[in-house]
Amino acid sequence: MTAPQTRYGSPRRPVRIATAVLRARAAANGARLRDTDELNLATAAVGADAWVALTGAQDLSTPAGFGPAATASLAAILARAAGHPGQQVEVPLETCASSMPLLRLAEEHVDWAYELVGTDAHQALIDAGSDLAAGGPDSAFAAYGCLLQVVAGEVARPASGGTGSPTVNTSH
């Protein structure tokens, strides 16, 4: 049986395996790799998966073909994977995406972030949203980044206090 894959072609777990291709791409683009924690790696993995979903790309090899917003968003994601997280970007709420397909994608990213970093999923989603928004406030990346930041605020741990999956209210 094959392990679940990211949209960019890596195994989804463990996080260091999921982000090895991101770190390699960052190094190939001239980034100096630094040690980084699992939270930043999980953030980069979620961001890259979202980037591929939003562009419809088959992989991460042609960001320029999707325009400057896509290139800037992927650059921020790869910088984080390389150990160089950028400044936090908050996207105005009026730019948030709200379609059901994107809400479902966000729910998938919440579940995955929770699997990767547990209760730090909230921060991973906020930071992934910020990296996506690096493409500019009027981009589809910023709209989805905003959605991730909003959904991160709605992540609820199981009422029992256990380690089950989070729930997300997508009834808005």
Reported as a single tens digit per residue, the pLDDT across 26-42 is 999 999 999 999 999 99
Residue 10 domain flag: no
Residue 136's domain spans which residues?
A: 15-153
pLDDT, position 159? 38
Residue 168 domain flag: no
Residue 39 domain flag: yes
Cα-based angle 52, 54, 58 (whole degrees, multiple of 5): 30
Residue 115 domain flag: yes
pLDDT, position 59? 86
Domain count, the chain: 1
pLDDT of residue 91 exceeding 50: yes
Residue 3 domain flag: no
pLDDT of residue 18 exceeding 70: yes
Helix, strand, coil in percent for the chain, rounding step 5: 60, 0, 40
Token look-up 């998938």 returns: 108
Residue 125 domain flag: yes
Residue 108's closest CA among 7, 1, 3? 7
Residue 6 domain flag: no
Helices 68-81 and 140-153, packing angle to 10 deg? 50
pLDDT, position 155? 59
* Overall average pLDDT of the 157-172 stretch: 40
Residue 9 domain flag: no
Contact 155, 73 (CB under 8 A): no
pLDDT band at 17 (very low <50, low <70, confident <90, very high): very high
pLDDT in tens, 108-154: 999 999 999 999 999 999 999 999 999 888 889 999 999 999 988 87
pTM as predicted: 0.87
